[in-house]
């Protein structure tokens, strides 16, 4: 079951009907997946939204969401990562405690782009500019796979293109240090009119989906309060469904709207939802994210995958399996950093 803060009390995002305001509220309340004590994300105090100011700020947006709509409009049907970044841009630009200086700032050396700084902002309480990297991730845990049971490499994306291990290394070894590169410091000095030290921050919200019916530990460095869901193959859906309260209703979540669940009023009865699922999985299809709700048990998030998932395993950097080719795939092309097979 997806554990959310205040499950028995009204959740922050449930107070609002506007989908963007709900997603913004979810983003503010959602904890990070990993501990980052030296580069923690901006909190309510830094945003100027503590001491009872958060609810009125969100309420004002709900009453007049035109600025939020305009800022996010082009990405409401796009990629999840871009949609997530736009919400952060709006928040840092409009929250009373922060001032957005730049976003998606390219760092270039000899006409070669080294990368981009996701967000650069100033806080009212700090004279130093802050470089914030943001990512939102939904990973499914594998009972068997690379590394130990708690290895971050066992947590893979639904599309099998990346893993928690790969994402963590990329963020800490490339994205965050980028603002300390010589080219970045020169550019930022020109922007700000002076050379200064730069703080680095990271925001990594999302949900970790544990395999239904399997005991599995949390990955290394996971925050104690990270949001949890469950995943299962389509063949196990009948057994899973039998354990759901008869009052359960649900919805299929479509990208990029994977943040806050939809209002309860638009959820479908289980038979209607199940008919859609059966049609989807009648052919080899991509995994589906479900949001389910019952009055007695609250909300839960479920990833439903095809019976042959995963098709490939993304290997962590430096993994000894990197150059291994299974006998059945020798001589055939295979994706980089991937091992054919199922866990």
Cβ(87)–Cβ(56) below 8 Å: no
Integer Rg of the chain from CA = 21
Query: What confidence score (pLDDT) does residue 343 get?
Result: 31
What is the residue extent of each domain of the chain? Answer: 1-343
Query: What confidence score (pLDDT) does residue 73 get?
Result: 84
In this predicted structure, the answer to whether residue 338 has a pLDDT above a threshold of 60 is no
In this predicted structure, the answer to whether residue 88 has a pLDDT above a threshold of 90 is yes
- Residues sharing a CB contact under 8 Å with residue 235, sequence separation 6 or more, in sequence order: 307
In this predicted structure, the answer to whether residue 339 has a pLDDT above a threshold of 50 is no
Mean pLDDT of 223-245: 97
Give CA torsion, residues 46, 13, 258, 290, to 10 deg: 150
Q: For strand 137-141 and strand 126-134, is the pairing parallel, antiparallel, or unpaired?
A: unpaired
Query: What confidence score (pLDDT) does residue 49 get?
Result: 96
In tens, the pLDDT along 160-173 reads: 999 999 999 999 99
Query: What confidence score (pLDDT) does residue 237 get?
Result: 97
Query: What confidence score (pLDDT) does residue 5 get?
Result: 34
In tens, the pLDDT along 102-131 reads: 999 999 888 888 999 999 999 988 778 999
- How many Cα atoms are found within 13 Å in the side-chain-facing hemisphere of 325? 10
Residue in the block written with tokens 């990562």: 81
CA 147 to CA 163: how far, in whole Å? 12
- What mean pLDDT, rounded, does the chain reach? 87
How sure is the predictor about 323, in pLDDT bands with cuts at 50, 70 and 90? Answer: very low
């Amino acid at each position: 079951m997806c554990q959310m803060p205040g499950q028995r009390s009204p959740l922050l995002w449930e107070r609002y009907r506007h989908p963007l305001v709900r997603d913004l509220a979810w983003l503010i309340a959602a904890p990070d997946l990993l501990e980052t004590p030296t580069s923690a994300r901006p909190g309510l105090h830094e945003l100027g939204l503590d001491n009872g100011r958060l609810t009125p700020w969100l309420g004002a947006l709900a009453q007049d969401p035109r600025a939020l709509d305009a800022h996010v409009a082009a990405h409401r049907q796009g990629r999840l990562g871009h949609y997530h970044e736009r919400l952060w841009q709006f928040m840092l630009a409009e929250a009373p405690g922060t001032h957005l200086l730049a976003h998606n700032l390219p760092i270039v050396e000899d006409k070669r782009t080294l990368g981009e700084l996701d967000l650069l902002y100033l806080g009212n309480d700090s004279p130093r500019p802050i470089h914030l990297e943001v990512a939102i991730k939904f990973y499914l845990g594998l009972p068997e796979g690379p590394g130990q049971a708690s290895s971050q490499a066992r947590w893979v994306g639904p599309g099998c293109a990346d893993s928690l291990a790969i994402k963590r290394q990329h963020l800490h070894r490339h994205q965050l240090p980028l603002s300390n590169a010589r080219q970045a410091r020169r550019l930022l000095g020109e922007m700000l009119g002076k050379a200064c030290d730069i703080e680095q921050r990271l925001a990594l919200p999302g949900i970790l989906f544990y395999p239904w019916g399997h005991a599995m530990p949390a990955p290394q460095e996971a925050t104690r309060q990270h949001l949890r869901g469950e995943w299962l193959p389509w063949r196990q859906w009948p057994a899973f469904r039998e354990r759901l309260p008869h009052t359960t209703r649900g919805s299929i979540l479509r990208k990029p709207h994977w943040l806050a669940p939809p209002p309860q009023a638009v959820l479908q009865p289980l038979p209607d939802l199940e008919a859609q699922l059966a049609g989807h999985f009648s052919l080899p299809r991509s995994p589906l994210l479900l949001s389910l709700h019952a009055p007695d048990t609250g909300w839960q998030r479920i990833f439903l995958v095809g019976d042959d998932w995963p098709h490939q395993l993304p290997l962590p950097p430096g993994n000894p399996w990197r150059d291994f080719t299974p006998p059945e795939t020798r001589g055939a092309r295979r994706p980089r950093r991937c091992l054919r097979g199922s866990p």
